[in-house]
Structure 1
Amino acid sequence: MSKNKDFIYCMIIMTLLLIGVFTFFYGGRDDIVSHMGFGGTVVSILLAVVAIIYSFYQSSTYENANAKLDASASQIQEAANNVSVVKEIQPMLNEFKEEVRVLKEGISNVKEITGRVDTGIIALKDDISKSLISNSKSEDKNHSSKQVHESFFLDFLTISSPIHTITTLICYKSYINR
Structure 2
Amino acid sequence: MSTEFVAYERLRLHFIYCGILAVLVIINLSVLYWMGVPDFTTYLTNVATITSLMLGLVAIIYSFVANSGLAQSLGSLGAISREIQHSKEIMRALVSSGEAQAKSMEDEQERLRVVSGEISDNLTRIKDQHESIRDLLGQIPDRFNALDDSLKAMATQADNLSQNGVEREEEGTFNTTFVQNFLEDSSPAGMMLCFAASRAEERGKDLDLASLRPEGLASWADYFRGYLVSMGAAGLVDARTRKENNTIVTIKYLHPYIRENARKALLDAMAKETKSSTVERRKKWMEHIDSLFE
Q: Map of 1:64-83 to 2, 5 A cutoff?
A: 64-83=76-95
- Residue 139 of structure 2 is aligned with which of 127, 130, 140? 127
The residue aligned with 2:43 is 31
Aligned partner of 2:52 in structure 1 is 40
SS where residue 79 of structure 1 aligns?
Answer: helix
1: CA distance, partners of 2:128 / 2:219:
16
What's the counterpart of residue 102 of structure 1? 114
Moved more, 40-49 or 120-129: 120-129
Deviation, structure 1 residue 44 = 1.4
Q: How does 1:1-178 map to 2 (within 5 A)?
A: 29-87=41-99, 93-130=105-142, 163-178=217-232
After superposition, the Cα gap between the structure-2 partners of 1:95 and 1:41, relative to the gap in structure 1 and judged at 3 Å, is same
Letter in 1 for 2:43: D
Distance in 2, Cα, partners of 1:57 & 1:134: 112
- Quote the Cα distance in structure 1 between the aligned partners of 2:106 and 2:41: 95
Residue 71 and residue 167 in structure 1: after superposition, are their counterparts in 2 closer, same or farther (change >3 A)?
Answer: farther
TM-score scaled to structure 2, two decimals?
Answer: 0.37
Report the CA distance shift for 1:64/1:168 in structure 2 as closer, same or farther (over 3 A). farther
Q: Which amino acid aligns with 1:83?
A: V
How many percent identity over aligned positions? 8
Shift of 1:34: 1.5
* Rg comparison, structure with higher value: 2
For 1:123 and 1:73, locate their aligned partners in 2 and report how far apart those are by CA, in whole Å.
Answer: 74
- Counterpart code for 1:170: F
Give the Cα–Cα distance (whole angstroms) in 1 for the partners of residues 121 and 144 of structure 2. Answer: 34
Q: CA deviation at 1:37?
A: 0.9
- AA aligned opposite 2:123: K
CA RMSD of aligned residues (A): 3.5
The answer for unaligned runs of 5 or more in structure 2 is 1-26, 149-215, 233-294
Structure 1 unmatched runs, 5+: 1-17, 137-161
SS in 1 for 2:217: helix
Per-residue deviation, 1:120: 1.4
What is the number of residues matched between the two proteins?
A: 133
Tell me, in whole angstroms, the C-alpha distance in 2 between the residues paired with 1:165 and 1:128: 14
Cα distance in 2 for residues equivalent to 1:71 and 1:166: 78
